[in-house]
Each structure stands twice: as structure tokens, then as C-alpha cells.
């Protein structure tokens, strides 16, 4: 049986930044992770590469045809050669246009599907990660991985790869042709190459750091934005709009500064390429013209040489610009792989079995746990809740009530001791089989954008309308149904917008009831509703709780006194336990 997460090296103390630092040292490894995602589309990808060869060949044909026309058409007064070169010019142009269209279409087709697959893969992996990961990592950062980071990859996957192949082939083709025409002029053209290589090396190192900082800053902007918007009620309630504006402005300023750093680098590097290009052409023009005057070089070759020199520096400029895209994409891919390579600490063991239908006996034996190994929350805690019993957990804030409930639901594994249901260690069963038999009603019921029906059936996808309506009526939702003209088809906005706090909580209770759980966890479930709604829920609980094991986290006496067992917690230890009358 796996014991990951039980010792001092638990993932709870790990920092996502540590993964990032390790990954920065292995850039080629990132691309090796991305390339296999093209495999499902290999035939279209290969066709795209063949079309790139055609596009490159037609692009390189121009100066060579011009040389033939000048030297053998005009120079030899041969109109037939002129006609042939004109026809070939037109044919090369038409072929290039057709091949370019299909190459652009297919490369975009493949790229978009690879990005779709990657986005889906990241989202699916996030669904596999334990609750602890999502509580540890800011929501805005996770949103950034699925949005801005994927978008940063688009420039590389869709257009960047095409640019890399076409410009790379063009560069190699030009070098070969230049040496074939005149090796001396070719060597002169390459006198600027050492400066170009040195400048590119410096740009590569500095821009890599700059683009990595840019990706980090944009994630911070999204994190601040998400946190502020989701907490708008608190922001406005305390009149802290100015503080929110200031925080958002600081995050934006940090992102702007990081972005400006990349712009300054590009502002120095790319004009430098233009300067070297001009110097190279000037050298060729001077020495080439003198050789033409001396009769050592034909005018056609000189014209072709200048044309190919432009084609020589253009790919370098394009590849240099692509390097900026590459750095931005690699920084984004680094963050994405950081998510994909985060192993779920609560993954089912290979020998995990499905939990059979449970009676509901809950047993915690010698349980110790802390979100960080150096800060324990529960200390050697033992507790038995018989099947069908309602146990209320009470205690001050930070006593460990919610943590204990999370262990029962196996959102975390204890670092010491064991949690059992019906005598079975929860680590020996599949999470899906456990969660299918329990339901949780949190303090603030989270509803999803959609219809009332979809929210009620979230834990019971195959429930009929009659079953959903019965569950809603059982928790006292009759008045709510009467107030919604569209009934189950009523629209529910994001996070339950359009419904009152009491209505949202009623839907949460009904959703839990519709799932027909054997184990029910209520985490301050009535603390955010009004007295009238609470009375309805309290009345409904008399029908809901019998026959089920229930764990209530509550402060209100009206909720606690209905429990069969009250457990008083203090600093992660049980102080007292017993019935309401006994305590």
C-alpha cells in the first residue's frame, strides 16, 4: 500500500516554485514532452512539411531565374530564354500561392488541435489532483495555465513551427546557392556572421529570463483579478475598492515592467540584425561590382547574389523574431508541464478495490495530520461514529473540525494513524467508490452556471425530474419552486447568481439528498442562511438524517442538539464527547 504523504517529505510542504526551478534546467525536455502530441495528426503534419519544401523551393527560384534571364536572355539576346524564364516565374508564383495556402491551413489545423488536446489534458489532470493542490495553488494561477499560457504556445505550435522549417530551409538553401555561384563572395558575406552569432547568444540568454518573468507576472495579474472579483462583496462591504485598485495596479505595473524588459531587448537586437544586413549587402555590392567591372563576374550572378543576400538575412531576422516567440512559449510550456508533472498524492493504489455499499461505521484511530509537517492540526485523534449516527463536531476556529471532515471524505490522507469506514482503510479503496457514497454540504453552497435541474442532478446525473423535485421539497424548497416560473428549467448564473443565499443553500441540501448518500457531511451548512430558511432545513434534516451517518460541523445550538453524539475539539484534540444532555 502506498504511504506517500505520510512522512515529513509530504507534498503539503512542497512549493510549485521548486518544480519550476528544476524544470528550467532541462529545456530540451520540454519539447520532447510536446512533440508526441502531434502523433495523432502525423499524416497532416507530414503533408504540411512537404508543402513547406515546395514553398521554399518556389521562393528560392526567383533570383536564379533572374540570373538566367539577364545573362542568357538579355545578354545573349535570346527571346526564347526570356519567355521561358517569365513562364517559370509565373508558374513558381502560382505553385507557391497554392502550396502556401494549404500549408498555412494544414499547419493551423494541426496546431489548433494540438492546443485543444493540451488544454483538455491539463484540465483533466487538474481534475485528478487532490483538493490540497487546489487549496495550495491560487485559482488565478491555474486559470493562467489554461488560458494565457496555452495562448502563448499558439504562436509556436501554429505559426512558429512553419516559420522555423521554411526559414531554416531557406537559410540552408541560400548558403548552398551562394557558394555554388561564387565561394569568394559567399565568404565575404559571412564576415558579419561572428557578430551575428555573438549577439544572438547574448539575446538568447537574457530574453529567456525576461520571458519567464513575463509569464509569472501575467499569472499574478490573473490571480489578483480572480481573487478580487470573487470577493467583490467583501471588497465593497468594507469600502476597500481603492485598495483593490491599488493591488491590481501594482500587479499590472509589474507585468508591464516585465513586458517592457522583453521589448527593450528586442529593440536592441532586431535593429542590430538590420544593421548587419546592411553592412553585408554593402560589402557584397562593393566587391561584387568591382569584379563585374573587371569581367570576373556576370551582371546576372551579381543580381542573383544580392537577391539571395536579402533572402539570407530575412530568414535570420525571422528566426530571431521566432526566438522571441519560442522563449515566450517555452516559459509558458514550463508552467504547463509543472502542472502535468505534479503527481496526485491521493492517487488510487494499483491494488485499490471498489468500496462496497457501506453501512456507515466511521473509525479514526490515532490520526495525526498537518497541512505542513511542522504545523500539526490533529494530534493522535481517535473517534468512532457508529453507522446511522449523527455526530456534531464543535470547537473554536482552528480546532480541526473541517480538517477531520476532510480526512473522512479522504480529501487528504493522515500522516499518522488510519481512517476506516466499515472497517476498511480508506487508502485501500478507490476514491470514486468512496465519493459515490457520500455527499458534502459546505458553508456556502457552490452552484454552477446552467439550470436548476443540472445543479440538483450534479451528484446524481441519472436522477429523474420527480426525484429531483422530491429532494428539493424534502428540504423545504416548495416556496422556492413556486417563485421560479420555469421550475427545473430556471437559469442559475455563475456561483448561483440570481438566487438568494438561502435558496442556494436549499439547492445544496437538495443536491446532496438527491445523491442518496450513506455518509453525509454538513460543514457549517446552515450558518449562512436566515432564521426562516434554517428552520426549514432543520425540519427537513429530521427526515434526511435517519438511517445515514452524518458529520455536522456547527456552532448553532439548534443544530447541535439534534446530534446523537457531540465531539468537542480543541487544538486538534478531543476534549469531550457525549450527547447533548450528557454534556
Domains and CATH numbers, the chain: 27-340 (1.20.1560.10), 362-578 (3.40.50.300)
CB 142, CB 222: distance < 8 Å: no
Q: What is the pTM of this model?
A: 0.70
Per-residue pLDDT reduced to its tens digit, 231-277: 776 776 667 788 888 888 888 888 888 888 888 887 888 788 778 87
Pairing type for strands 565-570 and 491-492 reads: unpaired
Nearest-5° Cα angle at 140, 242 to 447:
95
Q: Does 541 or 265 have the greater pLDDT score?
A: 265
Does residue 99 contact residue 55 with C-beta atoms inside 8 Å?
Answer: yes
H or E segment to which residue 417 belongs = strand 416-421
Give residue for cell 502506498: 2
What is the rounded CA–CA span in Å between residue 205 and residue 118?
A: 27
- CA 227 to CA 75: how far, in whole Å? 74
pLDDT at position 135: 79
Q: Tell me the sheet residues that pair with 491.
A: 451
- The predicted-structure confidence for 282-299, as pLDDT tens digits, reads as follows 888 888 888 888 888 888
**What does the pLDDT look like over 183-227, one tens digit per residue?**
888 888 777 778 777 877 777 778 777 877 887 888 788 888 877
Nearest to 215 by CA among 286, 153, 273: 153
For 8-72, the DSSP string reads: TT-GGG--HHHHHHHHHT-HHHHHHHHGGGGGGGHHHHHHHHHHHHHHHHHHHHHHHHHHHIIII
**Mean pLDDT, the chain, as a whole number?**
81
pLDDT for 451 equals 85
Does pLDDT of 331 surpass 60?
Answer: yes
Higher local confidence (pLDDT), 85 or 497: 85
Give the per-residue pLDDT at 4: 38
Q: What is the pLDDT of residue 60?
A: 86
Identify whether the C-beta of residue 434 lies closer than 8 Å to the C-beta of residue 426.
Answer: yes
Residue 233 has what pLDDT? 65
pLDDT tens readout for residues 43-56: 998 999 899 999 98
Give 417-442 pLDDT, tens digit per residue: 999 999 999 999 998 898 888 888 88
CA 471, distance to chain mean position in Å, is 36
Residue of 572, 569, 558, 525 lying closest to 395 (CA atoms): 569
Kindly report the number of other CB atoms within 10 A of residue 430's CB atom.
14
Q: Are 58 and 96 in contact (CB under 8 A)?
A: yes
As a whole number of angstroms, the distance between CA 210 and CA 215 comes to 9
Average pLDDT over residues 121-140: 85
Question: What is the predicted pLDDT for the residue at 504?
Answer: 83
The pLDDT of residue 528? 63
Per the CB < 8 A criterion, the answer to whether 522 and 548 are in contact is: no
| Alpha carbons 435 and 419: distance in angstroms, whole number | 15
- Give 474-487 as a DSSP string: HTT-HHHHHH-TTG
d(CA 85, CA 440): 78
Instruction: List, for residues 565-576, the tens digit of each pLDDT value.
Output: 888 888 888 888
pLDDT (tens digit, 9 = 90+) per residue, 137-183? 887 788 888 888 888 888 788 777 888 888 888 888 888 888 888 88
As a whole number of angstroms, the distance between CA 173 and CA 182 comes to: 14
Per the structure block, which three cell numbers stand in for 385? 461514529
Highest mean pLDDT among 9-13, 94-98, 134-138, 441-445: 94-98
Highest mean pLDDT among 73-87, 117-131, 158-172: 117-131
What's the confidence (pLDDT) of residue 6?
Answer: 36
Amino acid at each position: 500500500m502506498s504511504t506517500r504523504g505520510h512522512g515529513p517529505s509530504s507534498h503539503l510542504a512542497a512549493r510549485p516554485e521548486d518544480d519550476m526551478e528544476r524544470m528550467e534546467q532541462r529545456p530540451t525536455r520540454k519539447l520532447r514532452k510536446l512533440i508526441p502530441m502531434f502523433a495523432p495528426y502525423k499524416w497532416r503534419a507530414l503533408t504540411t512539411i512537404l508543402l513547406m519544401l515546395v514553398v521554399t523551393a518556389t521562393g528560392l527560384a526567383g533570383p536564379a531565374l533572374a540570373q538566367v534571364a539577364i545573362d542568357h536572355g538579355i545578354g545573349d539576346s535570346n527571346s526564347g530564354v526570356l519567355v521561358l524564364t517569365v513562364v517559370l516565374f509565373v508558374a513558381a508564383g502560382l505553385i507557391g500561392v497554392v502550396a502556401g495556402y494549404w500549408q498555412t491551413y494544414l499547419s493551423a489545423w494541426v496546431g489548433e488541435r494540438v492546443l485543444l488536446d493540451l488544454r483538455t489534458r491539463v484540465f483533466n489532470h487538474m481534475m485528478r489532483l487532490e483538493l490540497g493542490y487546489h487549496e495550495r495553488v491560487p485559482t488565478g494561477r491555474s486559470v493562467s495555465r489554461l488560458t494565457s499560457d496555452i495562448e502563448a504556445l499558439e504562436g509556436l505550435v501554429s505559426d512558429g513551427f512553419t516559420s522555423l522549417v521554411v526559414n531554416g530551409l531557406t537559410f540552408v538553401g541560400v548558403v548552398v546557392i551562394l557558394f555554388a555561384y561564387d565561394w569568394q563572395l559567399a565568404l565575404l558575406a559571412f564576415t558579419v556572421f561572428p557578430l551575428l552569432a555573438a549577439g544572438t547568444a547574448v539575446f538568447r540568454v537574457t530574453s529567456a529570463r525576461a520571458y519567464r518573468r513575463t509569464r509569472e507576472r501575467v499569472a499574478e495579474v490573473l490571480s489578483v483579478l480572480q481573487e478580487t472579483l470573487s470577493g467583490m462583496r467583501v471588497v465593497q462591504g468594507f469600502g476597500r475598492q481603492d485598495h483593490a485598485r491599488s493591488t491590481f495596479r501594482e500587479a499590472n505595473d509589474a507585468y508591464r515592467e516585465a513586458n517592457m524588459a522583453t521589448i527593450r531587448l528586442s529593440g536592441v537586437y532586431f535593429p542590430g540584425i538590420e544593421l548587419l544586413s546592411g553592412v553585408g549587402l554593402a560589402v557584397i555590392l562593393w566587391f561584387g561590382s568591382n569584379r563585374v567591372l573587371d569581367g570576373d563576374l556576370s551582371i546576372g550572378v551579381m543580381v542573383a547574389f544580392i537577391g539571395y543576400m536579402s533572402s539570407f538575412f530575412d530568414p535570420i531576422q525571422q528566426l530571431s523574431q521566432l526566438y522571441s516567440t519560442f522563449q515566450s512559449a517555452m516559459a509558458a510550456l514550463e508552467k504547463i508541464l509543472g502542472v502535468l508533472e505534479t503527481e496526485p498524492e491521493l492517487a488510487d493504489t494499483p491494488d485499490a478495490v471498489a468500496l462496497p455499499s457501506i453501512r456507515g461505521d466511521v473509525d479514526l484511530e490515532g490520526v495525526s495530520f498537518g497541512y505542513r509537517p511542522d504545523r500539526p492540526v490533529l494530534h493522535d485523534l481517535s473517534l468512532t461514529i457508529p453507522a446511522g449516527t449523527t455526530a456534531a463536531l464543535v470547537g473554536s476556529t482552528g480546532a480541526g473540525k473541517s480538517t477531520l471532515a476532510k480526512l473522512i471524505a479522504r480529501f487528504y490522507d493522515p500522516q499518522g494513524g488510519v481512517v476506516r469506514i466499515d472497517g476498511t482503510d480508506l487508502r485501500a479503496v478507490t476514491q470514486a467508490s468512496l465519493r459515490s457514497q457520500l455527499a458534502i454540504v459546505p458553508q456556502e453552497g457552490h452552484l454552477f452556471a446552467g439550470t436548476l435541474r443540472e445543479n440538483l442532478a450534479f451528484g446524481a446525473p441519472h436522477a429523474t425530474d420527480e426525484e429531483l423535485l422530491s429532494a428539493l421539497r424534502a428540504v423545504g424548497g416548495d416556496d422556492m419552486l413556486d417563485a421560479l416560473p420555469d421550475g427545473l428549467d430556471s437559469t442559475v448564473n455563475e456561483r448561483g447568481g440570481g438566487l438568494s443565499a438561502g435558496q442556494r443553500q436549499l439547492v445544496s441540501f437538495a443536491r446532496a439528498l438527491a445523491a442518496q448518500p450513506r455518509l453525509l457531511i454538513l460543514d457549517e451548512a446552515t450558518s449562512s442562511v436566515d432564521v426562516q430558511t434554517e428552520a426549514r432545513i432543520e425540519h427537513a434534516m429530521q427526515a434526511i438524517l435517519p438511517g445515514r451517518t452524518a458529520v455536522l460541523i456547527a456552532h448553532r445550538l439548534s443544530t447541535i442538539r439534534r446530534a446523537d453524539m457531540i465531539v468537542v475539539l480543541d487544538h486538534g484534540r478531543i476534549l469531550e464527547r457525549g450527547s447533548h444532555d450528557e454534556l
